[in-house]
Chains A and B, each alone.
Chain A
Amino acid sequence: MAIKRKPMKMVTLLLAMIMTLSAAGCSSGGNNGSNNGGNAEGSKSTNAPVQTEAATETKLSEDEPGWKADTSPITFDWYLNFSWFPNKWGVDATSKYITKKTGVDINFIVPAGNENEKLNTLVASGKLPDFITIDFANDNVKKMIEGELVLPLNKLAEEYDPYFFKASDPAKLNWYTQEDGNVYGYPNASSSPADYEKYGDTYVANQVFVVRKDMYEAIGKPDMSTPEGFLKALQLAKEKYPQVNGQPLIPLGLHEFGDTGNYSLEAYLQNFLAIPREKDGKLYNRETDPEYVTWLKTLRQANQDGLLAKDIFIDKRVQMEEKIAQGRYFAMLYQRTDFANQEGTLYQKNPEQIYIAIDGPANSKHDAPTLDGPGISGWTITLISKNVKDKARAIRFLSYLNSEEGNKDLFLGEKGVSYDTIDGKDQFKPEVLELLNKDRSSFDKQYGSSFTFWMLMNTNITQQWTNPTVEPFKQLEDWTRGKTKSASAFEGIDPTGNSPEGIIGSKIKSLRAKTLPKLLMAPSDAEFDKIWNDYLEKQQKEGLEKFQAYQQKKYEENKQKLSQ
């Protein structure tokens, strides 16, 4: 017994020690996190030898890509603030090729649930992964910059990789220059005013109004651009097709209702109605436009007539994608690239049952929509954390991705594998192209080119290698041609963070998010007016004026920056 007992005692003691020790480790870790100064110093001292070594090796030149100096293996953690991103680095041919070429391997960190929740936790811990890619308008961008959690790219470039300045567009760097004179993030899918001059006529927008082709044709292709026509068409579709494969038809699909509103029902619809963003140099509060209110009332009427399914208020993107793939929507105000996978699947099954773009809601004068074309802010920006493993390698890799070479690699992939020079032009091999058009997610896993990794894509550069879009995507794309309008000057004008205006902004957005469903669910126009006036009043009370003054100021600054 005694012998048997001893180890047990030891185990208990050990357990106790482990617990206290690990706990102590935890709390000291926390202290470091809150003590920013000490932490930064600590990481500096560990990084220092690596950097000086690398710096002496490299011939710092603006013409020579810095990444070529060191292609030893290194793995960077890369945080993407997009929970839907499904791919991993190193699975497909393209990412393997880039790792082989540059030595850089990437471990993508993607939030499992709510993005803000994950990012806030990361920010609060004070330790961010090496790279962060995030929507340019996200609140946290400012927070990370102000909290000095991210490094100025220009300083890094000066020190480790002057080639960055050559690989990057000065207009975009200027656009993202902060008040302290530094640039912390570089955008993707961004187009400067110069780009507009050069490529403007090829620009297409993402915002479309689509209907299911067979249904639309069966009900006689009615005009859906007037409120009456719109309601009538939804009605006809619902009568003719009450069910799709045994499930009820959803007459109208929208982006998901979130905590900050509904994209389809805000700027998106306002663009379709060609509501101006400014009048005589003063920002225009677009949602107060009578045309917009008329259309919201139309949607309210649709709901009263049973033409809005409850699903659209509840479903998140995943459920929507599933239902699009089943063809359960008749019409949708939804971005075309957001359902490209499903559109491809539908086309494979039956080319008649795809979604096609038609003229959607329009204002009473029938002006053409003013859809968002590519803006200078782009879509996302990528930042480098102050805790980055290796500053030199990070900025060099960023320059590489940014450069023409990097864009070509990410777009076309490896020569001979994903693309070849065919008829004197570099383009995808036929079988690659076929898979791309047929099954995007298999394509991503097999070839991984065509910007599977879009973090720093510059579609202006890759324009020259693009194959003409094929059906069913071509029709959607073509419809938007000539309807785009640059909204660059209006980008990033919303106040963010915990500034007084930022708080007002988040309250107004939350108010809007709560009001929109109520408006659509209102039993009568009178009730709608009541909710609407109440909403406008509450906005005033929350401090709309202060919010707008801030926007106006930012807008004027933006105009100044763009005219440089």
Chain B
Amino acid sequence: MENKRSAEPAGGMTPLIPANHKTGTGTGNRPSLWRRMTAQKHLQTMALLGVIWMIIFNYIPMYGIIIAFKDYNIVKSIAEAPWVGLTHFREFMEDENLVNVIKNTLGISLFKLVIGFPLPIIFALFLNEIRSVRFKKSIQTISYLPHFLSWVVLGGILATWLSDVGIINNILLALGLIDQPISYLAEPNYFRGIVITSDIWKELGWSAIIYLAAISGVSPEMYEAATIDGAGRFQKMWYVTLPAIKATISILFILAVSGVLNSNFDQILVLRNALNDSASNVIDYYVYYTGILSGRFSYSTAVGLLKSVIALILLLIANSVSKKINDTSLF
């Protein structure tokens, strides 16, 4: 029963579940692929644009990955560069920044996952319970507005707020919570907290949208049935809404796990400085520094590639675990 219930809203969320399409193409007694394609040629044209876009911007540039195994010189072509095998990977393994960089990246990402992942779900659940439509809409709009601020702008604002003469210090001093102003961005200890909090604040409302969409797909009949069974508000949330959006949550969780080695580069770049370096040097920044700033493109590609490979492995693990546990998966 549980499975059947969850399958229903999942069907309503087709864009998220490519698996559904797949099963469709597999069945034999349908017209040929070409006939079906021509029948939907208008739709397919639109899809084709996306496919072309992806090939050009995602697949063709992948050719550049091979410089990770070469000694690439920026002024010569990739083909001219000599092969060096795994030299760059080995160098990264011996690099003294390795431990620090991985520790920082995982530290920030895991906290973002543990705290930042469930919060939008909870937020969406509560928002869904608000009766007044107008109030609900305005809360939703206000909560996702920060998403549209770029990190460059927000970084400037945060730097001012968090400086020793900034608003945060003024408030805390006035409340008597601290007796000396603290320059928050200059302390490595605070960096993780700042990054995670600001990220959640910025993205909470935006991430909740997808859950709200999933919730709106839940059949009202189920709520009615639950009401007849005597379920209260929280019970309905727990026994109806949550199971109904379980598939969506699983999918987003799988994607989030694969992103664990990604830290939000823009955010880190604008918030880092010489003093918090020991906490702010993450893989992405390290790649940027060695590659774009120091011009060691082969080496930084190798580091980036390594990161992507690990991310892929994580994605596969999360996917198969999810498949085993609750029968939802990306592929």
Contact, CB under 8 Å: B296 / A19: no
Q: How far is the CA of A538 from the CA of B74 in the complex (A)?
A: 29
A residues 236-272 with Cβ under 8 Å of B?
247-248, 257-259, 262
- B43 vs chain A, min Cβ distance (A): 11
Asked whether, in the complex, the Cβ of A12 is within 8 Å of the Cβ of B46, the reply is yes
Instruction: Report how many residues on chain A are interfacial, defined by Cβ distance under 8 Å.
Output: 52
Which of B18-26, B52-60, B104-112, B131-139 touches A?
B52-60
Which candidate, A94-102, A112-120, A461-469, is the interface stretch facing chain B? A112-120
Are A314 and B293 in contact, CB atoms less than 8 angstroms apart?
Answer: no
Q: Which residues of B contact A120 (CB under 8 A)?
A: 74, 292-293, 295
Among B46, B74, B79, max chain A CB count under 10 A is at: B74
A313→B292 CA distance, assembly (Å): 23
Q: Which residues of A contact B275 (CB under 8 A)?
A: 257, 310, 313-314, 517, 521
| Complex Cα–Cα for A310 and B143 (A) | 33
B274 near A513 with CB under 8 A, answer yes
Query: B29-54 vs A: 1/0 string, CB under 8 Å?
Result: 00000000000001001101100110
* Cβ–Cβ < 8 Å partners of A148 in chain B: 75
Q: B159 to chain A: which residues have CB within 8 Å?
A: 314
Return the chain A residue nearest B291 by Cβ: A120
Q: How far does the alpha carbon of A516 sit from the alpha carbon of B273 in the complex, in Å? A: 13
Q: A409 to nearest B CB, angstroms? A: 35
Contact indicator B295/A310 (Cβ below 8 Å): no
CA A309 – CA B60 in complex, angstroms? Answer: 49
B165 proximity list for chain A (CB < 8 A)? 247-248
A503 and B74 contact, CB distance less than 8 A:
no
Given contact pairs A124-B74, A148-B75, A498-B73, A27 touches B56 in the complex (Cβ within 8 A): yes
A88: interface (CB < 8 Å): no
Output the nearest chain B residue to A496 by Cβ-Cβ distance.
B295
Residues of A within 8 Å of B27, CB to CB, are none
Chain A nearest Cβ from B322, distance in angstroms = 36
| Distance to closest chain B CB from A178 (angstroms) | 15
Nearest to B294 among chain A residues (CB) is A506
Q: How far is the CB of A502 from chain B (nearest CB, A)?
A: 9
Judging by beta carbons under 8 Å apart, are B75 and A126 in contact? yes
In the assembled complex, the CB of B108 is this many whole angstroms from the nearest CB of chain A, namely: 19
**Separation of A23 and B74 alpha carbons in the complex (Å):** 23
Q: A314-B186, A314-B273 are in contact. Are A117 and B292 (CB under 8 A)?
A: yes
| B residues less than 8 Å from A117 (CB atoms) | 292-293
CA distance A392 to B60 in the complex (A): 39
Given contacts A16-B49, A314-B273, contact A123 B74 (CB under 8 A): yes
B89 to chain A, nearest CB (A): 16
Nearest CB to that of A505 among chain B residues?
B294
B288 closest partner in A (C-beta): A117
The answer to whether A259 touches B273 (Cβ under 8 A) is no
How many angstroms from the CA of A92 to the CA of B216 in the assembled complex?
A: 62
State the majority secondary structure of interface residues on A: helix
Q: Residue on A with the closest CB to B180?
A: A306
Does B268 have its Cβ within 8 Å of any Cβ on chain A? no
Knowing A143-B295, A314-B186, say if A35 contacts B274 (CB, 8 Å): no
Name the residue on A nearest B187 (C-beta).
Answer: A310
- Looking at A27, A144, A510, the one whose CB has the most chain B CB atoms below 10 A away is A510
Indicate if A514 sits at the interface (CB-CB under 8 A): yes
The answer to whether A20 touches B183, judged by C-beta atoms less than 8 angstroms apart, is: no
A324 surroundings in chain B (CB, below 8 A): none
Min Cβ gap A495→B in Å is 13
CB distance from A148 to the nearest CB of B (A): 7
| Cβ–Cβ contact B49 & A19, under 8 A | yes
Interface flags, B241-282, vs A, CB<8A=1, else 0: 000000000000000000000000000000001110110000
CB of A498 within 8 A of CB of B273, answer: no
B77 A313 Cβ-Cβ under 8 A: no
Residues of A within 8 A of B296 (CB): 498, 503, 506
Contact with A along B116-127 (1 / 0, CB 8 A): 000000000000
Residue B76, interface by CB 8 Å:
yes
For A246, the closest partner residue in chain B by CB is B165
B56 lies within 8 A of A26 (CB): yes
Assembly CA distance A23 to B60 (angstroms):
11
Task: Tell me, in angstroms, the Cα distance from A117 to B52 when the chains sit together.
Answer: 29
Report A513-524 CB contacts with B as 1/0, cut-off 8 Å: 110111001000
Q: Which residues of B contact A514 (CB under 8 A)?
A: 277-278
Is A34 a contact partner of B75 (Cβ separation < 8 A)? no
B83 at interface (Cβ–Cβ under 8 A)?
no
Bound Cα distance from A146 to B80, whole angstroms: 15
Does B8 count as interface, using CB distance less than 8 angstroms? no
Asked whether A34 and B77 contact (CB < 8 A) given A12-B45, A248-B165, the answer is yes
Select one of A35, A139, A146 contacting B75, CB under 8 A. Answer: A146
Instruction: Report if B185 contacts A (CB, 8 A).
Output: yes
Residue of B nearest to A513 (CB): B274
Chain A contacts for B234, CB-based, 8 A = none
Residues in A with CB closer than 8 Å to B45 are 12-13, 16
* Chain B, Cβ-Cβ closest to A306: B180
Q: Smallest Cβ distance from B18 to chain A, in angstroms? A: 23
B52, B56, B78, B295: the one contacting A139 at CB < 8 Å is B295
Instruction: Say yes or no: is A276 at the interface (Cβ < 8 Å to chain B).
Output: no
- Is B96 part of the contact surface with A, judged by Cβ < 8 Å? yes
In B92-112, the 8 Å CB interface with A consists of: 96
Q: A23-B56, A497-B295 are in contact. Are A538 and B96 (CB under 8 A)?
A: yes
CB distance from B72 to the nearest CB of A (A): 9
Please name the residue on chain B nearest to A140 by beta carbon. B295
In angstroms, Cα B45 to Cα A521, docked, is 61
Q: CB of B164 within 8 A of chain A? A: yes
Q: Residues 255-296 of chain A: 1 if any B CB is under 8 Å from the residue's CB, otherwise 0?
A: 001110010000000000000000000000000000000000
B289 within 8 A of A: yes
Decide: A27 and B49 in contact? CB cutoff 8 A: no
Say yes or no for A48: interface residue by CB 8 A criterion: no
B60 to chain A: closest residue by CB: A27
Chain A residues within an 8 Å CB radius of B52: 19-20, 23
Q: Are A257 and B56 in contact (CB under 8 A)?
A: no
How far in angstroms is the closest Cβ of chain B from A275?
A: 24
CB neighbours (8 Å) of B76 from chain A are 36, 147
Q: Are A36 and B277 in contact (CB under 8 A)?
A: no
Query: Cβ of A149 < 8 Å from any Cβ of B?
Result: yes
Least distance between B211 CB and chain A CB atoms (Å): 33
A258 and B277 alpha carbons, distance in the complex (Å): 11
Interface members, chain B 146-198 (any A CB < 8 Å): 159, 163-165, 183, 185-186
Are A147 and B77 within 8 A (Cβ)? no
Contact A123 B56 (CB under 8 A): no
Q: A27 — which chain B residues lie within 8 A by C-beta?
A: 56, 60
Q: Which residues of A contact B274 (CB under 8 A)?
A: 257-258, 262, 313-314, 513, 516-517
By a CB distance below 8 angstroms, the chain B residues around A121 are 292
- A117 → chain B closest CB, angstroms: 5
What would be 20 A-B contacts, judged by CB atoms less than 8 Å apart? Answer: A12-B45, A20-B52, A27-B56, A34-B78, A114-B293, A116-B292, A116-B293, A120-B293, A121-B292, A126-B75, A143-B75, A143-B295, A144-B75, A147-B74, A259-B289, A262-B274, A310-B186, A313-B186, A314-B186, A506-B296
Interface residues of B (CB under 8 A from A): 42, 45-46, 48-49, 52-53, 56, 60, 71, 73-79, 96, 159, 163-165, 183, 185-186, 273-275, 277-278, 289, 292-297
Task: Given contacts A13-B45, A124-B74, A248-B165, list 11 more A-B pairs with CB under 8 A.
Answer: A114-B293, A117-B292, A120-B74, A121-B292, A147-B75, A310-B186, A311-B164, A313-B275, A314-B274, A498-B71, A513-B274
Closest 5 pairs (CB-CB, A-B): A147-B75, A257-B274, A310-B183, A310-B186, A34-B77
